[in-house]
Amino acid sequence: MGGSAAEAAGQTGRAAAAKPFGVAVVGCGNISKQYLKNLVTFPDVQVLFCADIDAGRAKAQAAAYGVPASGSPEQALDHPDVRLVVNLTIPAAHAEVASAAIAAGKHVWNEKPLAPDVASGRALLDQAAHAGVRVGCAPDTVLGAGIQSARRLIAAGAIGTPISALTLLQGPGPESWHPDPEFLFAKGAGPLFDLGPYYLSVLATLFGPATRVAAVGRRESDTRVIGSGPRAGTEFAVEVPTYMSALAQYAGGQAASLLFSWDSPLTRSGFVEITGTEATLAVPDPNQFDGDLRVRRAGDQEWTVIAAHGAAAGRGSGVVDMVRAIRRGQPHRASGEMAQHVLELMTAIERSAASSSFEPLESVFDLPEMLAEDWDPHVAAA
């Protein structure tokens, strides 16, 4: 069966460590390709089941990636050797699917955002704590070589004391390439909730928890048109702001200026700069696992390029870190608590755009330990 309080405390020990951790992927849409491609190559996990409310999709993904069984989400939860559910459903289904998995005694890795609202995110974490199982959450890009190298550089004093951040994401929006983009413009999505988790999780990893935010939001159009796939030409409703500009203040005293926009013909993304008392650090794209870093000190005419060091194994890396942490009784890094804080932060940004006032934040989380440079999900843990 799935996790127990003893397992969460790491008491199952070595016997369990010998066998790959049984995993089910629930939600076999667009992003499941990246997860399955990676998860089947990670020796610490074994994908035993692919599930979807669309049985055909589950069957096709199982066949494509050599997964032995497929079927409904309920069948995945009934599988006796599945101990962790990788929940890749649409955001509106994240909490419901995760909650059912926890009720069946399984650990859960959720795609982002953790839940559609703060209350259901909190309820999920409480349910998991009570059941003695873990919740982890995307993005695990923060475990990639790029962001981990940024953390190491800052810890080594490369920019002095970090004092501020500037992030930028702008473009025309994903309806041009996603064949089923409606969910990305529905409540709980938009550029803030869809891509904000990458940028805000980097800042959470580098600065810790935020304490208050203010924001301005707008929406250029009430409808958009699907640009690719079998439903190209279909018009659909836009329910959320498609432009959000925010200011955030962090408990450590740092400030951040943030832009998330799908109302721009010009595409610019992956821009994250951390300014310290002595230098500015340009961090690689938070939606990638790798990429060079650049540092510019006071008086420099050029950036100094610094190569990232560490694993860049892609989506699913956080699942491996979680499985290893469960076995060792240690905290996992891409934690539900950090994701809950990011969810509260995004919700507060949305609320501030509506209220025109600063919105406070309450949740906190423990900063995860940095990953070692030689951490590698492709090599079985000792």
**Interface ranges with ligand NAD (CB under 6 A):** 26-31, 52-54, 57, 73, 88-91, 93, 97, 111-112, 180, 194
> Is the Cβ of residue 113 or residue 162 nearer to ligand NAD in the bound state?
113
Six-digit token string for 74: 């309920």
* Least distance (Å) between residue 373 CB and ligand NAD: 26
CB-based closest residue to ligand NAD: 29
If the CB atoms of residues 116 and 208 are measured against ligand NAD, the closer one turns out to be 116
Report, in Å, the least distance between residue 88 CB and ligand NAD.
5
Say how far apart CA 139 and CA 145 lie, in whole Å: 14
Between 193 and 243, whose beta carbon lies closer to ligand NAD? 193
**137 or 353: whose CB is closer to ligand NAD?**
137
| Residue with Cβ nearer ligand NAD (112 or 341) | 112
- Nearest distance from C-beta of residue 159 to ligand NAD, angstroms: 29
Pick 54 or 369: Cβ nearer ligand NAD:
54
6 vs 177 by CB, closer to ligand NAD: 177
Query: CB-wise, 2 or 91, nearer to ligand NAD?
Result: 91
Minimum distance from CB of 226 to ligand NAD (Å)?
Answer: 13
Q: Which residue, 52 or 321, has its beta carbon nearer to ligand NAD?
A: 52
192 in Cβ contact with 337 (< 8 Å): no
How far apart are CB 97 and ligand NAD at their closest, in Å? 5
Please tell me the distance from the alpha carbon of residue 83 to that of residue 101, in angstroms, as a whole number: 9
For the bound state, the minimum distance from the C-beta of residue 101 to ligand NAD, rounded and expressed in Å, comes to: 10
- Minimum Å gap between C-beta 160 and ligand NAD is 34
| Beta carbon of residue 125, minimum distance to ligand NAD (angstroms, whole number) | 18
Q: In angstroms, what is the minimal distance from the CB of 76 to ligand NAD?
A: 9
CA separation (Å) from 350 to 37, 196, 262, 315, 342? 35, 12, 15, 27, 12
